Structure 1
Amino acid sequence: MVNPALPNPLPGAVGLSHLSAYDWEAADGVCGGSPHLHLVCTEAYVVTGGRGAVQTLGADGYREIPLEPGSLAWFTPGTVHRMVQGGDLRVTVLMQNSGLPEAGDAVFTFPPEVLADPDRYRAAATLPPGTGPDTAEAARRRRDLAVEGYLVLREALAAGDTGPYRAFQSAAARLVRDKVPAWRALWQEGALAAARRTGAHLDALVEGDPAYLDDSTAHSATPTRHGGFGMCGRRDEYGVPGTTLPYGED
């Protein structure tokens, strides 16, 4: 029997948000967001307006993928990504395992000495509450520190040296290790529960019992916060019950 109490997530239990890329110029003369990676989530950008690019660092080296209206780019766990502005860039973000990034599945490319100290990392990554000028200034400092570490990683990869990139991945894994039990619970209650529900529906159809269709319904939502300071830009968020958790102030 299908459990009607299970939440009704977005398709695939994905997370959904909208981003307007930062137009702050960084040390390398490029305007854009804070480079970071996710440890267990794949992320996708669907471009809805403007122009820009996403710069990535991975086992395949450095790449710059152009972004323009209608284009789609996605990157798997462990891929460092940096959204860069080319002119009024706006994207819709689809995030695997909705709720996990909001619970900390993202590590900035801060310099090694910051990554090595959990308290120092937390202080550098945390923003003050709200969307005012103090928060904007802190978000820009955070971005600049992430770019500082990112440029070192990129230069090393360009020279064929994967050591700093591998060291960053290891440092990121150490930083999040204690969060994994909470992530597992969110995954079990969200994405895994959604997949199991599909399995239960398939079993019911095989048995010739479509009674679960009586629970069919429709849902709608509007953003619960506009203009939050995300990692890559100003972020409009959805608080969809049972799936997406609105980003905390960190």
Structure 2
Amino acid sequence: MQTLTLSGYRETPLRPGALVWFAPGTIHRLVNDGGLEIIVLMQNSGLPEAGDAVLTLPPDLLTDPATYAAAVALPGGGAPGTDLAAAYGRRDLAVRGFELLRAAAVAGDLTPLRQFHAAAIGLVQPHLESWRQRWRDGALRAADETRQQLDALARGEAPHFVEAEVYQIAEPRDRGRRGMCGQLDTYPVS
């Protein structure tokens, strides 16, 4: 895993069984040299796939939301079975931009990375209200339910025991959806 932050560039080996995570804002590139299966759990109610992660495209494609959207759009929204050429083209643009940022960082110049951060903020700001709603309906609701359960336990009660259940999603909703980080099998969790 190649990562880039204001601390610089770093490579972290990925091996079967390893658990690796990073904080939001970490630019990352995963290089799979063969057969390694990577299972990804995303926090924040799927915001990365909803656009809060900005691909490291070359600077001329980060100038405004319309230019960026056109550069990252996939036919059929990336639905399974759609042509891979557009996804590979988008990937290649992101790798090219990543390589520019990495080269500058390795040379000790974090200015391009800071410029990328500023461009990314400008690109995502129009989506903030819909993301706040996703957060309210997901992560915040789950945290509030946990608070209520803890408060009930403190009172010697456990009304949530009545609602205890086992849940299963037997199959992904989509197999092979083209996502930001490759092909995804997605499970809707609500």
Aligned to 1:150: 98
Aligned to 1:108: 55
Following superposition, the deviation at residue 133 of structure 1 comes to 5.8
* Matching residue's letter, 1:123: A
Please give the per-residue CA displacement for 1:128-187, whole angstroms capped at 9, x wherever unaligned. 0233462x0000100111111111100000010010001001100100001111111111
Could you tell me whether the CA contact under 8 Å between 2:49 and 2:180 is conserved in 1?
Answer: no
Aligned to 1:93: 40
* Structure 2 gap ranges (5+): none
Q: How many residues align?
A: 187
Aligned to 1:192: 140
Following superposition, the deviation at residue 210 of structure 1 comes to 1.5
Aligned to 1:65: 12
**How many angstroms apart in 1 are the aligned matches of 2:44 and 2:98?**
25
Aligned to 1:212: 160
Aligned to 1:165: 113
Larger RCO (alpha carbons 8 Å, 6+ apart): 1
Could you tell me whether the CA contact under 8 Å between 2:172 and 2:186 is conserved in 1?
Answer: yes
**How many angstroms apart in 2 are the aligned matches of 1:216 and 1:182?**
30
What SS does the corresponding residue of 2:40 show, helix, strand or coil? strand
The structure carrying a bigger helix percent of its residues is 2
Could you tell me whether the CA contact under 8 Å between 2:173 and 2:186 is conserved in 1?
Answer: yes
**How many angstroms apart in 2 are the aligned matches of 1:120 and 1:177?**
15
**How many angstroms apart in 1 are the aligned matches of 2:36 and 2:156?**
49
What SS does the corresponding residue of 1:63 show, helix, strand or coil? strand
Q: Runs in 1 of length 4+ with deviation above 4 angstroms?
A: none
Q: What is the root-mean-square deviation of aligned Cα atoms in Å?
A: 1.2
TM-score computed with the length of structure 2 as normaliser: 0.94
**How many angstroms apart in 2 are the aligned matches of 1:61 and 1:114?**
23
The structure carrying a bigger strand percent of its residues is 1
* Structure 1 gap ranges (5+): 1-53, 243-250
* Matching residue's letter, 1:102: E
Q: Does 1:234 align with 2:183?
A: yes
TM-score computed with the length of structure 1 as normaliser: 0.72
**How many angstroms apart in 2 are the aligned matches of 1:63 and 1:188?**
34
Alignment of 1:18-97 (within 5 A): 54-97=1-44
What SS does the corresponding residue of 1:68 show, helix, strand or coil? coil
Following superposition, the deviation at residue 85 of structure 1 comes to 1.4
Following superposition, the deviation at residue 101 of structure 1 comes to 2.1
